[in-house]
Amino acid sequence: MKFPFQTIAIIGKQKSPEVAEPMLRLGDFLAARGLRVVVDGLAAEYLKDHSFTALSLDEIARTVDLAIVIGGDGTMLNIARTLAPHGVPLVGVNQGRLGFLTDLTPGNMEVEISAMLEGKYLTEQRLLLLARVLRKDREIYSGLAFNEVVVHRGNISSMVEFEVRIDGEYLYNQRADGLIISTPTGSTAYAMSAGGAIIHPGLDVLELVPVSPHSLSNRPIVVRGSSEIELLMHRTGDICVRYDSHTNIDLQLHDKIVVSRFDKPVLLLHPQGHSYYHTLREKLLWNQTL
């Protein structure tokens, strides 16, 4: 990570014209401080009369020292998968709903980012997943996931049947609507809805959460973050593997999904005083009384 930051990207939520105002305001604020500002090409179409350089995400990944993402958690998930392999740190400005990954608001972003530019921030590393799909021992797809990798049935198919191995050791055969392999970041997403535990993002672990298992004895299990998880499909039909609700790959009989930790983490910058527990209280409404 370069410091002080010299080139900063502002990335907005796709197909959302409302990001134009905060993007322009933040861009002008950063440019006035003598910093080079670039914007992502897709969101740039909503910006009028601006002087910032528009780049693709791949160009941004190779160019900038810091990326500020204006949107919701879904936007952060998408951007993290692209920028993490290049070690670009991310700051999130929430213009979505929950905002587990986006600390700042359009109202306080100038104040908080000004402090960050002076070195007043916390750095956090978040685990990222690499999932490969093998068919007859040949890799047909490989992708990254920040929240989770999910094997699940379609709307009309019967239960998924698969075998699970951890670091080569047989764990169990499973019949269920699906299986979630979640990072700690993803533990407050689909995994939580399916009955998984909330896991502090500082822990180096992965969580396996069955979705509507046929046997009630099949419960969520937490394993080491360094584990390699293999799923071998024993029954197929309308079944696929999904990466962060972003990419879907249809599966066939005997396909194998191999999930492991990606060798580079996602780098998040938080304002000083950031607390994960405060985020949980705020986003999950734990402060409300009956």
131 close to 257: Cβ distance less than 8 angstroms: yes
Judged on CB neighbours under 10 Å (0-12, 13-18, 19+), 137 is: exposed
Sheet of 36-40, strand order: 53-55, 36-40, 7-12, 66-71, 90-94, 266-271, 121-126
Return d(Cα 144, Cα 138) in angstroms, integer: 18
Which of 28, 49, 65, 73 is labelled catalytic? Answer: 73
- Hey, what are 177's tokens? 């609507």
Return d(Cα 176, Cα 114) in angstroms, integer: 49
Can you name the residues that pair with 107 across neighbouring β-strands? none
> Could you tell me which residues come within 8 angstroms of residue 27 by beta carbon, excluding any fewer than 6 positions away?
10, 37, 39, 50, 52
Question: In degrees, to the nearest 5, what angle opens at C-alpha 79 toward C-alphas 204 and 77?
Answer: 50
Return d(Cα 221, Cα 239) in angstroms, integer: 23
Residue 73: active-site member: yes
Neighbouring C-alpha atoms within 13 Å toward the C-beta of 286:
8
Return d(Cα 55, Cα 39) in angstroms, integer: 6
Give Rg (Cα) of the chain: 20
| Residues labelled as active-site residues | 73
